[in-house]
Amino acid sequence: MKIGIVSLGCPKNLVDSETMLGLIHEEKYEITNDPSEAEIIIVNTCGFIESAKEESINTILQMVEYKKSGSCKYIIVTGCLSQRYAEELFNELPEADAIAGVEVYDEIGSIIKRVMNGERFIMLERSKPDVIYTSKETFLPRILTTPSYTAYLKIAEGCDNCCSYCAIPKIRGPYRSKPMEQVLKEAKALADNGVKELIVVAQDTTRYGEDLPGGKLLLADLLKELNKIESLKWIRVMYCYPNNFTDELIETFASLDKVCKYVDLPLQHASNRLLASMNRYDTREEVETLLAKLRKRIPGIVIRTTFIVGFPGETDADFEELKEFVEQQRFENAGVFAYSQEEGTVAGAMPNQIPDEIKQERYHELMALQAQISEEIHKDTEGQTLEVLVEGIEEDGSGLHYGRSYREAPDIDGLVFIENPGDIKPGCFVKVNILQGFTYESVGERI
């Protein structure tokens, strides 16, 4: 039996997909990357915002076609969209043989057996104890879909922040930290298998540990332990929230040699009125204090953030304040999202929803401003020497290799292109003198 997985959405969902692949491999099924060959296709969906839901539905429909033209006999739909809209998917997509939620991906083996026995069902609740977030010893097998030198390390599930625009707490449940012993075992296993860059993820990494015995924030302690793993080169931390970014954590980032001087800090807005309406825990002034601390204590730090434009009630003055904040703070990287009105959220029911055309105007205006800032910052790196993780070679015949420095996270930030690379292979680290900086990329020469 050949089985294929299509994984959509965020890196946290990708870790779930990789775990399912590991469990499928343990069950002695054959794994294929070609959906036309797969007899069972698993679609691990995203259901976070409208565009993600549309992509998930379109992907499911594309995979359904392989029931007509390929080898596919069964379709299993998992992930956030399944959790959020299980009944609708089950009723409207008769081609889907099983709808499985986010809590049961570790039971993929039994799900496969049930569909092969002719059952068609929804499975949202666990049929066995949850070892993932309770066992100190157990971590489930994974087959990486990332390059062999880079892996995501998910340290928690769910979220308690309850931002008014976000459906994740309803989909993924409350915040649950993995026991540190389990996280460290998984990290060491990944490093032993050749991973050089470990990317720490959760819905809110800075909240890690507060739900464990003792009720203490433990991200700083976790990073200190990860830093001891000899074969790791980089530890990159994503999804940090400002309200739990303590002075101890700042000092940890500053002092540990393997922790990238890179902070992913979703801020969402700069208007205190809108931040309160979003149910965020910080004011603009508190965020500015944190940013100043980070930059003072960690020279060369790169800060990535995200913003939402078109949130209900956002006035022209609010948007102008956001632009002024972005101009003042000069973030190295920033993503912008046009607000998506999600059913079941507090913000989805708010009055003063912003018309789509205004959202799009503000989106493009803020993106253009950030592009200008990013280009200026990249130009400021000209003449600097950066250590670059080599990831591949351009296919245009130019001979240029490309990779990332500590300044770039995979898939969301830019690349560093390397001239005169010599004999280098993906996964190795080289010193590169930056010659030119552009909006999203830099070009340099290997030293």
Rounded to whole angstroms, the Cα distance separating 27 from 7 reads 20
317, 422 Cβ separation under 8 angstroms: no
- What is the structure's pLDDT at 137? 73
> How far from 278 is each of 134, 242, 265, 308, CA to CA, in Å?
32, 14, 16, 10
- List C-alpha distances in Å: 276 to 205, 247, 283, 288, 421: 22, 24, 8, 16, 50
CA 237 – CA 199 distance, rounded (Å): 6
User: What is the pLDDT at residue 399?
Assistant: 80
Radius of gyration, alpha carbons of the chain: 22
Rounded to an integer, what is the distance from CA 258 to the centroid of its chain? 20
Residues near 208 by Cβ (< 8 Å), separated by ≥ 6?
155, 156, 177, 202, 217, 218, 219, 222
Q: What is the pLDDT of residue 317?
A: 98
| Dihedral angle, C-alpha 98, 104, 107, 113, nearest 10 ° | -10
The pTM assigned to this predicted structure is 0.94
Distances (CA, A) of 336 to 144, 184, 267: 29, 34, 11
Q: How far apart are the C-alpha atoms of 309 and 363, rounded to whole Å?
A: 6
Q: How far is CA 29 from CA 7, 24, 25, 123, in A?
A: 18, 6, 6, 21
pLDDT in tens, the chain (447 residues): 999 999 999 999 999 999 999 999 999 999 999 999 999 999 999 987 888 899 999 999 999 999 988 899 999 999 999 999 999 999 999 999 999 999 899 999 999 999 999 999 999 998 887 777 777 777 888 999 999 999 999 999 999 999 999 999 999 999 999 999 999 999 999 999 999 999 999 999 999 999 999 999 999 999 999 999 999 999 999 999 999 999 999 999 999 999 999 999 999 999 999 999 999 999 999 999 999 999 999 999 999 999 999 999 999 999 999 999 999 999 999 999 999 999 899 999 999 999 999 999 999 999 999 999 999 999 999 999 999 999 999 887 778 999 999 999 999 999 999 998 888 999 999 999 999 999 999 999 999
Which residue in the block uniquely carries the two structure tokens 């530890």? 235
Measure Cα distances from 352 to 247, 314, 341 in Å.
38, 8, 12
> Burial level of 413, CB count in 10 A (0-12/13-18/19+)?
buried
Q: So what's the pLDDT on residue 165?
A: 96
Chain-centroid distance of CA 418 in Å reads 26
Alpha helices in 135-217, H assignment, sequence order: 168-172, 180-192
Amino acid present at 429: F
- Give the C-alpha distances (Å, rounded to integers) separating 74 from 3, 4, 77, 115: 10, 11, 10, 7
- What pLDDT is attached to residue 12? 94
How far is the C-alpha of 99 from the C-alpha of 118, rounded, in Å?
14
CA–CA distances in Å: residue 37 to residues 40, 69, 114: 9, 10, 21
Q: What distances in angstroms separate CA 82 from CA 46, 116, 124, 165, 171, one per listed residue?
A: 9, 20, 8, 20, 9
Helix (H) or strand (E) run with residue 443 in it: strand 441-446
- Report pLDDT for 381: 95
